[in-house]
Amino acid sequence: MIHERGVFTMKEWQEEQKALNEEISRVCRQPFLDKVIGPPSVNPLRTAALMLAFTDEDRKQARVQKQIAAAVLIQLAMDTHDLIPSVTEEMTQEHQLIVLAGDFFSGMYYRTLAEAGSIHWVEILADAVKKVNEAKTSLHRHQLHSKEAVFGAVQTIEGDIIGAVYKENKADKTVWHAIQQLLAADRLLQEKEKPFIAFDALARVLGTNEQAAGALKHQLEQIRLTINTCIQNMDERSASVVRAERDRLFSVPLRFVEEG
């Protein structure tokens, strides 16, 4: 990552990120489940976010790589369970397989931490997992009554588990703030393309899908400005990674937003 002369190269970062993503994908592959519901999708942003929570030296350790993998796996488990409709008259065979897949990823989470000798991480992440589940429940049950509350729930769902890792490592707060914004933006951009529980909650709060889409677009613009401000106040290594993730995420229509 950092050469002897102190030169940061994105190529090396990307190679490390790719290798870690491939290893996580390998760990959570299960041929039968892959055949029925498709292979799991590892979000590269989550991997990058977790990598930034550790020093370059720490990330070389197998133990740390497993800790990163475990944090990705528990979120993958929770994301998989989200694929089951909150209101369904019967548990179909497909639903049962989705539950099985989520449970499998959850089991791999515990196994990976055990292999790392880091089972204490279950306790470190437990409060975050609880808050994520509560936030998802509040969206599913239509318990939120403002757009700010909906966006806050999204930030909790996407950020709290990774945030617990930053807190445990006493990682840079500015970097974490930018990462928190990127994770929220990633989810909102997904909901912009394919509305899910957050978009539905916004539409319910604001009255129409059109108003929900407008609020979502405005929030994305504000997030991008916040990220730009954070970039100005972090080291070049972190700034390069955050800048690359920002550019990867945001679509051309949002480019008109003024740099912060």
CATH code (residue 121): 1.10.600.10
> 189: which residues sit within 8 A by CB, 6+ positions away?
220, 249, 250, 251
For residue 25, is it within any domain? yes
Tokens of 125: 């992440």
Instruction: Note whether 64 and 41 are within 8 A (CB).
Output: no
For residue 103, is it within any domain? yes
For residue 259, is it within any domain? no
Domain hosting 95: range is 10-254
The pLDDT of residue 246 = 96
For residue 3, is it within any domain? no
For residue 5, is it within any domain? no
For residue 1, is it within any domain? no
For residue 4, is it within any domain? no
Q: Give the pLDDT of the chain (260 residues) as one tens digit per residue.
A: 444 334 568 889 999 999 999 999 988 888 887 877 788 888 999 999 999 999 999 999 999 999 999 999 999 999 988 888 765 556 787 788 888 888 999 999 999 999 999 999 999 999 999 999 999 999 989 999 999 999 999 999 999 999 999 999 999 999 999 999 999 999 999 999 999 999 999 999 999 999 999 999 999 999 999 999 999 999 999 999 999 999 999 864 443 333 33
Q: Looking at the 3D structure of the chain, how many domains does it have? A: 1
d(C-alpha 209, C-alpha 71), whole Å? 34
CB atoms within 10 A of CB 193: 9
For residue 126, is it within any domain? yes
